[in-house]
Amino acid sequence: MIPWVVWHLSNIYEQGVKVALENNGTFLVRGSWFCGSNLFEVVASSPANLEYILKFDLSNFPKGPSKKYFSDIFGYGLINSDDELWKRQQKPTVMAVSSRKFRDRYLSLVQKSLLQKLLPLLEEVKEENASVDLQHVLLQLTMDIILMVIFGREAGSETFASAPFDEATECCIYRLLCPSFIWKVMRFLNVGFEKKLRAARAIVEDCVAEMVKVKVKEVEEENELQGDILSTFMRLEREQRCPPSQHLLQGLTTSIFLPGKDTTALAMSWFFWLISMHPYVEEKMVSELSHIWNFEHLSNGYDIVGAFGWEALRGMNYLQAALSEYMTLYPPPPLIYKEAAIDNVLPDGTHVMKGSKLLLFIYGTNRMESLWGKDALEFKPERWITEKGICMNENDYKYPVFSAGPRICIGKDVAYVSMKYIVDNILVRYRVKVEAGHQVKPKLGLTLPMKHGLKVTLQARNDIIA
């Protein structure tokens, strides 16, 4: 498989889908002898196999590769841990994100970021008839928001080492594609991507360590904790007389930062790209927005930003359908890494040996005609709308974009709400046009960024507010 992977690296996702479809969703990989245990032996994308791995036999399929290749950046934080250590971090995170206090403060923060940062920038771009990389802009916005979620205050995105963090994550990906003995020698000699990783990691660690120290001091000095993730985690640990180490707090921070920053921003970037090519979808969303805006405004006297509260956002069924459909085609986390702790047999009869690396190919699951029909590759939000006009929920193992089972994404509901809120406030003001000739293609990574960003221009919209 090594020559095949290298040859198709520029469009590895599409080629992976082709191989998966030819093999009913699951296939075995054989690499050269010198790859050692670095190569994935099983690639699985069928719902039955995903359900078995992610739900029924979760303890026998730990994180595996993630621990080995990503520990330099994530430590043993939430997304890089198993068993008791995972449960220890998962409980306070769920408590923090599911509380009403968190929900209200979260939407308030998104609103504040929109008014103070995003909308002024977009208005300036429109007035100057300029273009802007919308993916970069949205990543900056979501970085501000996720830092508030973690630390309970405006941490200041300009102080957080985002670029080194992204570079370190990318270097860890190279480890997955490179035979173990090669990257270990590179690490020993401090050359190539291992040299970049060491430098980027040092910057990230210094930055996160300082922010965590400040947070710990705040928690120690204040009687009332703020309901953010780190405060909630430290409170529970204190109640159990098990104060967390600085290292664990840093790992928790970085493992929440990546999915919180990247997935929502990248989701909206792909979404705006898709609707730019499907005007009828935009028209339907604009019609839904117009109806909700006029109802909320006439009933409650809200301004544009205030009109879209939690209940209004939940009522936007077509927008939710469009977002769900986008994530079918371009799931923010396209891959999940696992390892077999024991010999096992998957539901389709695939034998998995102890120590085998597994790649759960979410990108492939969402493009299987056997699951989604002959039009699986079409952007078609209507497939999510019931006869009553409600956006339906799909089985998590058929639609695993938020993972599934006990480790399903904690922030799923919050992600939908924030995406709806930001998309609404952009659509109600602007028509987003992708710059002619701009090339859009996915980039290999833990998430699914656009390799060249998303260059867009903006036109004022005057057809919603009556």
pLDDT at position 125 = 94
As a whole number, mean pLDDT of residues 52-69 equals: 80
Query: What CA–CA distance (Å, rounded) separates 31 from 45?
Result: 20
Calculate what percentage of the chain has a pLDDT beyond 90. Answer: 34
306: confidence class by pLDDT, cuts 50, 70, 90: low
- pLDDT of 300 strictly over 60: no
- pLDDT level of residue 34 (50, 70, 90 thresholds): low
Per-residue model confidence as pLDDT tens digits over 326-339: 999 999 889 888 88
Please give the pLDDT value at position 298.
47
Judged against a pLDDT cut of 90, whether residue 170 lies above it is answered with: no
- The pLDDT assigned to 68 comes to 75
pLDDT, one tens digit per residue, over 178-223 is: 777 888 899 999 999 999 999 998 988 888 888 888 888 888 877 5
Mean pLDDT of 36-59: 81
* Residue 176 confidence (pLDDT) above 90: no
pLDDT in tens, 239-286: 777 777 888 888 888 888 877 888 889 999 999 999 999 999 999 998
pLDDT of residue 207: 86
**Which domains does the chain possess?**
2-460 (1.10.630.10)
pLDDT for the residue 258: 79
Q: Residue 114's pLDDT band (boundaries 50, 70, 90)?
A: confident
Q: Is 411's pLDDT higher than 70? A: yes
Structure-token match 């970037």, residue found: 269
Which pLDDT value is given to residue 466?
46
User: What pLDDT is recorded for position 383?
Assistant: 94
User: pLDDT at position 154, please?
Assistant: 67
Q: Return the closest-CA partner of residue 172 out of 147, 200, 146, 140.
A: 200
Residue 159 has pLDDT above 60, yes or no: no
Between 69 and 155, the more confident residue is 69
pLDDT of residue 158: 53
- pLDDT confidence of residue 377: 92
Which of 227-236, 255-264, 358-367: highest mean pLDDT? 358-367
Q: How confident is the model at residue 156 (pLDDT cuts 50, 70, 90)?
A: low
Name which residue leads in pLDDT, 185 or 33: 185
State yes or no: pLDDT of 440 exceeds 90: yes
Does residue 33 carry a pLDDT above 60?
Answer: no
pLDDT of 415-435, one tens digit each?
A: 888 888 899 889 988 999 999
Report the share of the chain in percent with pLDDT over 70.
89
Which pLDDT band, with edges at 50, 70 and 90, does 301 fall under? very low
Q: Band of the pLDDT at 395, cuts 50, 70, 90?
A: very high
How far is the C-alpha of 262 from the C-alpha of 449, rounded, in Å?
A: 8
Least confident of 45-49, 90-94, 357-361: 90-94
Q: What is the 3-state secondary structure (H, E, C) of the chain?
A: CHHHHHHCHHHHHHHHHHHHHHCCCEEECCCCHHHCCCCCCEEECCHHHHHHHHHHCHHHCCCCHHHHHHHHHHCCCHHHCCHHHHHHHHHHHHHHHHCHHHHHHHHHHHHHHHHHHHHHHHHHHHHCCCCEEHHHHHHHHHHHHHHHHHHCCCCCHHHCCHHHHHHHHHHHHHHHHCCHHHHHHHHHHCCHHHHHHHHHHHHHHHHHHHHHHHHHHHHHHCCCCCCCHHHHHHHHHHHCCCCCCHHHHHHHHHHHHHHHHHHHHHHHHHHHHHHHHCHHHHHHHHHHHHHHHHHHHHHHCCCHHHHCCHHHHHCCHHHHHHHHHHHHHCCCCCEEEEECCCCEECCCCCEECCCCEEEEEHHHHCCCHHHHCCCCCCCCHHHHECCCCCECCCCCCCCCECECHHHCCCCHHHHHHHHHHHHHHHHCCEEEEECCCCCCCECCCCCCCECCCCEEEEEECCCCCC
pLDDT at 403 over 70: yes
pTM: 0.88
